[in-house]
Structure 1
Amino acid sequence: MTPPGVTRASYGAGEHYAHDLVRQEAEALGAIAQVDAAGNLYLTLPGRNRSLPRIVMGSHLDTVPHGGNYDGAAGVVAGIAVMADLVEQGAVPSRDLVVMAIRAEEAAWFPLSYPGSQAALGLLHPTALQARRSDTGKTLAEHMELAGFDPEAVRRGTTLINARDIAAFVEVHIEQGPRLLALDAPIAIVSAIAGGFRYVDARCFGAYAHSGAEPRFSRRDSVLGFTDLVQGLETEWDLLERDGLEATITFGRVESDRTQHGGSRVLGELGFTLDVRSEEQAVLDHLHQRIHTLQADIAAKRNVRFEMGQKSVWSPARMDAGVIQRLEASAAQLQMQPHRMPSGAGHDAAAFAAAGIPGAMVFVRNEHGSHNPHESMRPEDLDQAIHLLVNFVTSFDER
């Protein structure tokens, strides 16, 4: 335990413990457990016709540092609960039901998008194995090997599943924003997952100077240059919303060198992170171009210089219309009326969609946001998602 909250590092002791725990619960229900070369866990409840493409559901079990109880884990628990419900009813699904516990979804540990899912699908680029974990400095490959897995098999693209063997992938996840709270709704069906780009080591360079002696005409103030960038992107955000387009723009960290800054100095260097997201690739492309244009204009006006550093990118993912329709039909049978909404945060379901696997997500209402110790999902809301998935599985071949 690492109070406050919950910390289960990717390929760390807490994630291993969580995998062992859900494995024990599923095996007690009669599920067959398998682990792939990257450590992803597959818990299979055999169906009547095991040759049919499988229904896969699940999520991740790692957390951000000092996160909450439900981000990721709720989706794995929901899958196990679906199994338990089917076993209790004596109902055998028409095809195999697989619950996945996926490794390493949280980019707080490795600067990668969905490495566990990518490895599961044989799509993890070999260079990703050299990414280093933020706290240990060890590479992804080293952490896999230390845990008893096989990074060389991952490098070769060895898998236990492939796209043609999956009829549908469904991920249950807490909503990480306030929309369901505002709607007073327990669940929603996700229509798309935002893509985005991120700079984690951007800098604005000016020149240090005496606060009283340096006149305005000769100042090269990195704070003012950075502020102009913030204001310029805020204006762009206003214009997008005016046109009915959604995006998020976040400056997550702003910092200066404490040995250099002071109350009587013009700040000569400032570091920051920038995270931009949208479900529309055209919006992302537009904002990326505007960032460069704004920086050029600010550099000329303020006599400062921007260096953005390495850029990480992930693509938007549309959820499958057919799977969404099946979920909505199941909801109607249960007299549920879930809303459709996009996800601004990334999820493993995006990696499955990118691989051409029909998939969708179910959001569960959650108070106090996510990635913090105060996540607050109501059990009765998760129960609605579980009932929805039981109906989805048992009626899959009827539609």
Structure 2
Amino acid sequence: MTDPLSHLDSCIAEVWEFLERIGHETTDSPGITRAAWSRNDEIAADGVRIFARRHGLQVLNDAFGNIQLLLPGVDPATPCVTTGSHLDSVPHGGNYDGLAGIAAGLAVLAAANADPASRTKPFRVVAMRGEESPWFGTAYLGSRLLLGLSTLDEIGDLVRSDSGQSLRHHIWQLGYPRTVEAVAPLLNSDLVTSFLELHIEQGPLLEADGIPVGIATAVRGNVRFPDARCIGAYGHSAALPRRFRRDAVLAVAELALGLDGFWKDRIARGDEDFVFTVGKFSTDAVLHAMTKVAGEVKFSLNIGAAAKTSLDEARALLFDLIKGIGKDRGVTFELGREVGTPPTPMDGQLIALIEDAARPLGIATCRMPTVGHDAAMFARAGIPCAVLLIRNANGSHNSEEALDRRDFAAGVHVLARAMHRLPQPTGSR
């Protein structure tokens, strides 16, 4: 009996070269930029298709530009163990956020196809569009369309931030649906027996603890206000006593510090899961001046937690703070639209399976919550999910993102062993 993983190392070496090439071709100094449904996004998609066809894999494009890859002997209607991630990046971000998970799946399928006994394994890789939220103001667009959680009628009019054009326009501009080719089916719990997503860790914990592989316990939910404002009144900085000021800068600063105090309290109680960010904070460039009290601030709020109770408590505190600060400082808060997703626990049996796959390889793992990934949408569709997090220096969503080739290889080995150990549908080999 042959070893289905005997070709894995050579396939990992080849996909690493693929990763580096796509990074080079989509460089946008500093870092790389692959806007969702853009030319650079399509460069990465074309690279995936070329690699897959060179290794004899089936390539199916859906009507939205997502790609499904299967072994040559697998009917697309077969329930499959599925892996993959997203093609796009944040503006001037790193090369591995998303794309490393697709490359890992390519290595697993290419290695399986090199083994005659594994060519009908029910494995699927998905390369998805639009996971990152900066482009259309909300996340997971590709996976939502892929899984039928959203339709193009519902979200097609969303406008991409850099182009001013709609999502529908960008999909059609790239030529989807491609009617000359078979169109991949929408996925659901009948076609996906489980979803395992490999992704770089986007924080410092694995690097700090010297652990190459993390396993997510949950995908953090979030409460977000992308376009909030605080409105006060402009005034002379030297002539206006404090009691007459309606200072929008200090009001938003007080709001941020109030939520930061909640965060510190969570940590003091042993809860390291909660996070809070003011990602945007700006006064009006036309009206502000060093000698003026600021009358308006535009800002964003992003509250995240793996426990719904933490999100609910923070959201309630937010509105209490706004009420008190508004009354005390004579300002008005307009939070604008609220978006977000609920916390999503990962599947306990899959977590244990991944730990069992790593142990014989001598690869240390740890359990930890993670940030938003497409796996959350698969879980929402009723599919058992797990996320493997690979140690990554310098964090993510920045141009200094880094990934060690050895850590990537370790993660792919764990992923491959987990996929091969999962129960297979009746009739598959």
> Match of 2:105?
79
Amino acid of the residue matched to residue 260 of structure 2?
E
| 1:27-42 correspondence runs (5 A) | 27-42=53-68
2:376 aligns to what SS in structure 1? helix
Deviation at 1:94, TM superposition (A): 6.4
AA aligned to 2:216 is V
SS at match of 2:423: helix
Q: Distance in 1 between matches of 2:36 and 2:30?
A: 18
- The one-letter amino acid paired with 1:238 is K
Q: Distance in 1 between matches of 2:256 and 2:283?
A: 16
Specify the alignment match of 1:380 in structure 2. 406
Shift of 1:49: 9.1
Partner of 2:346: 319
Contact 1:59/1:75 (8 A) holds in 2: yes
Shift of the alpha carbon at 1:67?
A: 1.1
Match of 1:300 among 289, 310, 327: 327
Contact 1:121-1:159 within 8 A present in 2 as well: no
Please tell me whether residue 113 in structure 1 is matched to residue 144 in structure 2: no
Q: Partners in 1 of 2:330 and 2:77 — Cα distance?
A: 66
Stretches of structure 2 that go unaligned for 5 or more consecutive residues are 1-26, 179-183, 425-429
Letter in 2 for 1:325: A
Q: Return the letter of the residue paired with 1:121.
A: L
Match of 2:168 in 1: 141
Query: Which range moved further: 291-300 or 122-131?
Result: 122-131
Q: 2:296 — aligned with what?
A: 269
Give the conservation status (yes or no) of the 8 Å contact 1:181–1:367.
yes
Provide the rounded CA distance (Å) in 1 between the counterparts of 2:154 and 2:58: 32
SS of the residue 1:163 aligns to: coil
Select the residue among 362, 365, 370 that pairs with 1:335: 362
Task: Write the deviation string for residues 31-61 of structure 1: whole angstroms up to 9, x where unpaired.
Answer: 1110111111001015689875201100011
Query: What's the TM-score once normalised by structure 2's chain length?
Result: 0.87
Q: CA deviation at 1:394?
A: 2.4
Question: Secondary structure of the residue that 1:385 maps to in structure 2?
Answer: helix
Report % sequence identity: 39
Alignment of 1:123-202 (within 5 A): 123-125=149-151, 126-150=153-177, 159-202=185-228
Deviation at 1:353, TM superposition (A): 0.7
Kindly report structure 1 stretches of 4+ aligned residues shifted beyond 6 Å. Answer: 48-51
Shift of 1:335: 3.1
**1:365 to 2:385 alignment:** no
How far does residue 226 in structure 1 lie from its aligned partner after superposition?
1.4
Determine whether 1:346 maps to 2:372. Answer: yes
In 2, Cα distance between equivalents of 1:7 and 1:195: 25
The letter for the 1-side match of 2:363 is M
User: Whole-Å Cα distance in 2 between the matches of residues 256 and 303 of structure 1?
Assistant: 18
Q: What residue in structure 1 maps to residue 71 of structure 2?
A: 45
CA contact (8 A) 1:55 1:95 kept: no
Give the number of equivalent residue pairs: 392
Paired with 2:99 and 2:343, the residues of 1 have a C-alpha distance of 23
1:155 counterpart residue number: none
Counterpart-to-counterpart distance in 1, 2:138 and 2:423: 36
* Cα root mean square deviation, aligned: 2.0
- Cα distance in 1 for residues equivalent to 2:417 and 2:120: 12
The corresponding residue for 2:266 is 240
Aligned residue identity for 2:90: V
Q: Deviations over 1:274-325 (max 9, x none)?
A: 1111111111111111000001111111111111111111121111112112
Distance 2:256 2:401 in 1: 29
> Quick one: distance in 2 between partners of 1:268 and 1:205?
6
Q: Does 1:250 align with 2:277?
A: yes
Instruction: For residue 336 of structure 1, report the CA deviation from its aligned partner.
Output: 2.7
Amino acid at match of 1:109: W
> Could you list the per-position Cα deviations for residues 59-83 of structure 1 after superposition, in whole angstroms to 9, with x for gaps in the alignment?
0111111111111110011111112
C-alpha separation in 2, matches of 1:297 and 1:91: 68
Write the distance in 2 (CA, Å) between the matches of 1:395 and 1:318: 22
Cα distance between partner residues in 2 of 1:199 and 1:50: 40
TM-score for both structures, normalised by structure 1? 0.94
User: Shift of the alpha carbon at 1:339?
Assistant: 0.7
Cα deviation digits, residues 110-144 of structure 1 (max 9, x gap): 11220100000111153311110001111111111
Residue aligned with 2:246, SS: coil
Give the 3-state SS of the residue equivalent to 1:327 in structure 2. helix
Kept in 1, the 8 Å contact 2:212–2:363? The answer is: no
Secondary structure of the residue aligned to 2:265 is helix
Please state whether the residue corresponding to 1:59 is helix, strand or coil: strand
